[in-house]
Amino acid sequence: MTEWDKMVAGLSYDAGDPQLTALRLRAARLCHQLNLLSPDQDSERQALLQELLGHTGEHFTINPGFQCDYGANITLGERFYANYNCVILDCAPVTFGNDVLVGPNCGFYTAGHPLDASIRRKGVEFAHPITVGSDVWFGGGVSVLPGVTIGDGAVIGAGSVVTRDVPAYTLAAGNPCRILRPLSN
């Protein structure tokens, strides 16, 4: 089993593995090219994103300042929108449904590190997938941590740190993020 296979399966893996390092460098180069494009270079932006990302809907927008680890583990539904400075650390799959709105300066982080410092020093990491349903809205500055699932129609308030699953059609906010009230669907 390769380190890539371990990583996407949610097992501990060696982040310094040469294959993983090469794949992160590829993604970094593509993100760099993407973020240098002029605002009127829409077709070039879409082409680079199609090359970088694992799967996308036909219509989506990602504003400049975008960064990711690999890109290949990112799936975007139709009409996905990410405002400026979105970061997706996609060591595990990150899946967004349709009509998802992501405010500026949001991060989706599948990667984590062992609590034991002696293991951390060896470069061992783990990753757990993030799944976001359809019709979800993230306010600015939201951080979503490894293993979180956010249900359809949820709204995550600005500045939230999402450490646990958020049910469908709920308003959630805070650090740590908690359910504030149900929303109508």
Active site annotation includes 55: no
How far apart, in whole angstroms, are the C-alpha atoms of residue 141 and residue 138?
8
Q: Which residues have a Cβ under 8 Å from the Cβ of 13 and sit 6 or more positions away?
A: 3, 4, 6, 7, 20, 124, 125, 126, 127
Q: Which residues have a Cβ under 8 Å from the Cβ of 15 and sit 6 or more positions away?
A: 111, 123, 124, 125
Which helix (H) or strand (E) segment holds residue 3: the answer is helix 3-8
How far apart, in whole angstroms, are the C-alpha atoms of residue 157 and residue 181?
12
How far apart, in whole angstroms, are the C-alpha atoms of residue 4 and residue 179?
35
Please identify which of the residues 32, 55, 59, 113 carries the catalytic annotation.
113
Active site residues: 113
